[in-house]
Chains A and B, each alone.
Chain A
């Protein structure tokens, strides 16, 4: 099992550009989520999904879109990048058996810089 994979590992964008951060998992997990990690602020939940076709907003959803068309993939879209979105982004997944209660498995992260 590859676990949770994220691409790209690094990305530099100019203000206003759009891009999609990819996340995939091969553990058949229903629950997937996106976090951003900023110094002094820890991990903040952006969006999450409890299954294909179901998504919901987290703590800091503005400026980000998500969709969940398959169980395996949960892409995060930045429609118009802003410098405030410079951060490290983590994708995570867990089983549906105990959504909100089970171990989350994290991807390696994507370091995004917006100039």
Chain B
């Protein structure tokens, strides 16, 4: 069964400090991992996906299949990073079994 775990409900760091939002997953197949972000009064939107291997707004995330993790990192937090972050897991392939599930989310609060 697919499962996504985000152990931290709230993460508060000072501006300029490093940020790491944890995400662990459970899936027997070939996983596709995503990070979505929801800023205040805005729609949920994609931040990054592991297959792209890109850095968005200074954030990066590396898929570690050995540890089944996909932690989101940023070396220097900015106040505009304050938001709700969700890790998501999709199953590869086109079938009725394909679906995307989300973790419980981590609220990131950046203190000035």
Q: Which A residues form the contact surface with B (CB < 8 A)? A: 31, 33, 35, 40-45, 48, 50, 54, 56, 58-59, 90, 92, 94, 96, 98-104, 106-109
Contacts and interface: CB of A to CB of B under 8 A. Distances in A.
B43 A100 contact: no
A102 B105 CA distance: 20
A109 B45 CA distance: 13
A99 B43 contact: no
A54 B44 CA distance: 25
Closest 6 A/B residue pairs (Cβ): A42-B104, A100-B98, A100-B90, A43-B102, A101-B32, A99-B98
Interface string B23-36: 00000000010101
Given A96-B94, A101-B51, A35 B102 contact: yes
Given A33-B99, A58-B99, A100 B92 contact: yes
A45 B101 contact: yes
Contact of B93 (A33, A43, A100): A100
Contacts of A106: 43-45
B105 A100 contact: no
A90 B97 CA distance: 20
A101 B49 CA distance: 9
Contact of A101 (B9, B86, B92): B92
Interface residues of B, number: 29
Interface string B73-91: 0000000000000101011
Contact of B95 (A50, A59, A108, A109): A50
A99 B94 contact: yes
A59 B90 contact: no
A43 B32 contact: no
A50 B98 contact: yes
B96 A108 contact: no
A100 B104 contact: no
Contacts of B96: 50, 54, 56
Given A42-B6, A50-B94, A103 B49 contact: yes
Nearest to A94: B100
A92 to B, nearest CB: 8
29 contacts: A31-B98, A33-B99, A33-B100, A40-B9, A42-B86, A42-B102, A43-B44, A43-B86, A43-B105, A44-B102, A45-B99, A48-B100, A54-B96, A58-B99, A58-B101, A90-B44, A92-B44, A96-B94, A98-B94, A99-B90, A99-B95, A100-B32, A100-B100, A101-B32, A101-B90, A104-B36, A104-B88, A106-B45, A108-B43
